[in-house]
Amino acid sequence: AAPQRTRHEAHPPSHLFYQGRQRRPLIDRADGLYIWDVHGRCYLDGSSGAMVSNIGHSNPHVLQAMQAQMARATFAYRLHFENAPAEELAARVADRLPGDLDRVFFVSGGSEAVESAIKLARQWAVATDQDSRWKVITRQPSYHGSTLGALAITGYEPLNAPFRPMMREMPAIPAPTAYLDRDALSMEERGRRYADLLADEIERQGPDSVLAFIMEPVGGASTGALVAPDSYYTRVAEICRHYGVLLIYDEVMSGAGRTGAFVAAEHWGITPDIMVLSKGFAAGYAPLGAMAAPGRLVEPVLDAGGFLHGYTYAGNPLACAAGLAVLEEIDRKHLIDNAAIRGTSLLQRLAELKERFPFIGDVRGKGLLTAIELVADRETMAVLPPSLNAHARVVELAYERGLIVYSRRTRGGMEGDHIMVCPPMIVTEAQLDELVGMLAAALAAFAR
């Protein structure tokens, strides 16, 4: 069937462009889980934007904190003035992160945070006489950002292909999938086998050339909320330690409470060498991201002449004031506990949808980072034909019913269409009913 045109597609000519020709309505206002367009239509924000608006929209405490900061100073260049919100936020983040991750560098988004991690790792290697180490092993599929450095460690063929001549693409190993070998091997054994692919790749590349390994502990846009077997996390950390390879956790999507822990690393008791945060960290109130690392990585770089890296807006007082207030709100409302509790309930509801719709092949996630995967055949987990554009079709059908969800078709021969179901961490049981009801209606329409 031809894709149904929504009423939003008719749009006046515009000077603005983003990814495609599809246009969306103008936003009027947002509050909590809901967004209104200028036509007065109300939408439930079922994926928190792109897993960003973790504490909901228009939170009065955050707005007040930002207004108070705005009345004092919105910007001061960090090489001219330090600012108290940045100092305090760094201290709180250091306090919350596992192990020795107590040195914090602020940026304005996820890609910048990932770039910063790569550049810190490399400068640490140079400063400690390990110049031969420069390769950053990544996973296929994965998503780490859109700047050329972050893209070079992103395993997502359609995004990489046009830029190949311009970037030094890094080696990749397959990310664990939800279903490969699922009957043949125990979970633990699968986790170890996938982790051992990292050891094989380090050997193939030459251990002295490998600088770091980067992974999303719970997959985001790349693998659709994929959680690996427990053994994967511990074994990957052991392999990195064995080879002196830095372990970088990209918690841009999984961090700031969404999985039911402040960072997903806590679920497995892992302290990576470097961690990056963004998205839910300032929850859409300001562009903010962070890279955290231990003193043992940062000090040699500072001793060797300084960290050759920076962004004009890094650590600006307004963004940091927003980040601080978001953290306060997460604590005050016990939103991390709520993410864990509602997440369990959401997974149960999605499992019920799987009973109802045979084209749902898998339901997965941790806390409120969850997804459903659409397949042609649940037994073989064969993917739906790309021409069907199933994930985008379901998103449109949900949109028409007032539900906003985020979807992806990730290939690389492994994953198919998936739809992220990731409401803000303030979601109530009644709102989960509402969300899943609208999603069920969209899936029923898709089935017709």
Q: Give me the residues that bind ligand PMP (CB under 6 A), please.
A: 50, 109-111, 114, 143-145, 216, 220-221, 250, 252-253, 278
Q: Which is nearer to ligand PMP, 216 or 434 (CB)?
A: 216
Rounded least distance, CB 24 to ligand PMP, Å: 18
Helix (H) and strand (E) counts for the chain?
13, 16
Query: What is the C-alpha separation between 28 and 41, in angstroms, rounded?
Result: 9
Distances (CA, A) of 443 to 39, 212, 354, 386, 419: 25, 41, 10, 18, 11
Distances (CA, A) of 146 to 149, 191, 313: 8, 29, 18
Rounded least distance, CB 124 to ligand PMP, Å: 21
Q: Residue of minimal CB distance from ligand PMP?
A: 110
Beta-bridged to residue 7, according to DSSP, are none
Query: What is the C-alpha separation between 262 and 190, in angstroms, rounded?
Result: 27
Rounded least distance, CB 113 to ligand PMP, Å: 7
Rounded least distance, CB 289 to ligand PMP, Å: 6
Rounded least distance, CB 248 to ligand PMP, Å: 11
Query: What is the C-alpha separation between 315 and 303, in angstroms, rounded?
Result: 22
Query: What is the C-alpha separation between 286 and 280, in angstroms, rounded?
Result: 10
Q: Which is nearer to ligand PMP, 116 or 338 (CB)?
A: 116
Q: Which is nearer to ligand PMP, 199 or 277 (CB)?
A: 277
Rounded least distance, CB 258 to ligand PMP, Å: 11
Enumerate residues 6+ apart whose C-beta is below 8 A from 60: none
Q: Which is nearer to ligand PMP, 6 or 146 (CB)?
A: 146
Nearest-CA neighbor of 371 among 266, 261, 232, 227?
227
Q: Which is nearer to ligand PMP, 123 or 222 (CB)?
A: 222
Which residue has tokens 């996390």? 233
Query: What is the C-alpha separation between 393 and 371, in angstroms, rounded?
Result: 16
Rounded least distance, CB 279 to ligand PMP, Å: 6
Rounded least distance, CB 110 to ligand PMP, Å: 2
Enumerate residues 6+ apart whose C-beta is below 8 A from 24: 8
Q: Which is nearer to ligand PMP, 216 or 415 (CB)?
A: 216
Q: Which is nearer to ligand PMP, 311 or 357 (CB)?
A: 311
Q: Which is nearer to ligand PMP, 274 or 432 (CB)?
A: 274
